[in-house]
A = this chain, B = another copy of it.
Amino acid sequence: MGLNERKLKILQAIIGDFITTAEPVGSRTLSKKYDLGVSPATIRNEMADLEDMGFLTHPHTSAGRVPSEKAYRLYVNEIMKKKELSKREKDAIAKKLYENVSELDKTIEHAANILSEITNLTAFALTPQQKHDRLKFINLLPVDDSTVVLMIVSEAGKVSNTALRLQVPYTEEALSILSKSMTYNYKGKTLSEALTLDIIENFETDIEAMGGLAKNIMPNFMKTLEEMLNVNLYMEGLTNIFNIPEYNDIDQAKMFMEMVNRKEDFTKTLISREDGLLITIGEENSDESMKNCSLITATYHVDGKLVGKLGVIGPTRMKYGEITSVIEYLTENISNAFRLTGGNNDKE
């Protein structure tokens, strides 16, 4: 028994209807609402077939049909068409996105916000992983008798610094030597390379000479590098799930909230996902807590190098077509925003 055109048409109608109404759809409603050219009885026969084939399920005998995850998978792979966004939508998105383009993090946060507002789902965005970002500039600046500022700039333009209060007095000369020595050792290295460098060895001889200065500073340097490697997770539209029938139940809502609030786990899940547009439906998710969710993620690029991710999470019943269109438009424009402006806040 194959999926002839009529079956496909009926399946598509069922999926489309269910996605918007969240109600099991019956043969009569189907024949009234959609112009299928056949009677409810025929539709019933076809639906029975579709159920045998695993595309539909039955909450109970006297209920309408509900698409299975297999149906969504088919829908995503073959039926759904990407919806071209209207000029107005595009403009609205672009306007918000370009609002504060000087800070990558802010833009990423905005992107998640836009996404959640358009989709009415929970949206998220990860700031880029900086693993391959290289150290460009390292400096130690005297601020006062007991305070120096450690400053690190990466090629991607990320700046990080910490005010260090030293336990021991220091001389500007020693500071300058250490600063130069660090630059010599680390400049041009990627963040992850830098983290594996055995610094103690490199500075062994100097440490005594500089009265513990390096001993004071290097641990902080490494800690700062680690922090630069951290990605930030932005989440928006958390409360949207309360408006979704699937989560109109305190336990469901709780489970969902708890899942997305385990930010480290969630971040790990996102990072480990393949690059590019990826849709995982229900059981396809490896995370136990996501087995009744669908997750859509996409990769964005900045300067053609760094990559981060953004996407949405919600019930398996979601508007896959529209959502992927918005996500793709967003990823393109995050890339563009930064390619065109070099991360500065002047638009071309």
Interface residues of A, Cβ cutoff 8 Å to B: 102-103, 136-137, 139, 141, 143-144, 147, 149, 151, 153, 157-159, 161-165, 167, 220, 238-239, 242, 248-250, 253-254, 257-258, 261, 342-344, 346
The answer to whether A238 and B253 have CB atoms under 8 Å apart is no
Query: Which residues of B have CB within 8 Å of A141?
Result: 137, 139, 151
The answer to whether B164 and A161 have CB atoms under 8 Å apart is no
The secondary-structure label for the interface of chain A is: mixed
Q: Identify A254's interface contact among B136, B239, B258, CB under 8 A.
A: B239
Query: Which residues of B have CB within 8 Å of A149?
Result: 137, 151, 153, 159
The answer to whether A153 and B163 have CB atoms under 8 Å apart is yes
Q: Identify A165's interface contact among B136, B167, B249, B343, CB under 8 A.
A: B343
Given contacts A136-B144, A141-B139, A257-B238, contact A163 B167 (CB under 8 A): no
CA distance A293 to B254 in the complex (A): 20
The answer to whether A344 and B167 have CB atoms under 8 Å apart is yes
Query: Which residues of B have CB within 8 Å of A137?
Result: 141, 143-144, 149
> Which of A103, A144, A344 has the largest count of B CB atoms less than 10 A from its CB?
A344
A139 (CB) vs chain B CBs: closest residue: B141
A236 (CB) vs chain B CBs: closest residue: B261
CA distance A19 to B153 in the complex (A): 53
Query: Which residues of B have CB within 8 Å of A257?
Result: 238-239, 242, 257
Can you name 10 A-B pairs with beta carbons within 8 Å?
Answer: A102-B162, A136-B144, A137-B149, A165-B343, A242-B250, A242-B253, A242-B254, A242-B258, A248-B250, A250-B250
The answer to whether A165 and B342 have CB atoms under 8 Å apart is yes
Query: Which residues of B have CB within 8 Å of A167?
Result: 344, 346
Query: Which residues of B have CB within 8 Å of A103?
Result: 162
A164 (CB) vs chain B CBs: closest residue: B344
A251 (CB) vs chain B CBs: closest residue: B242
Using A137-B141, A157-B163, A253-B253 as known contacts, list a sample of 4 further A-B pairs with CB atoms less than 8 Å apart, ordered by residue number in A: A102-B220, A139-B141, A149-B153, A164-B344
Given contacts A257-B239, A344-B164, contact A143 B147 (CB under 8 A): no
Query: Which residues of B have CB within 8 Å of A242?
Result: 250, 253-254, 257-258
CA distance A139 to B163 in the complex (A): 14
Query: Which residues of B have CB within 8 Å of A165?
Result: 157, 342-344
The answer to whether A161 and B151 have CB atoms under 8 Å apart is yes
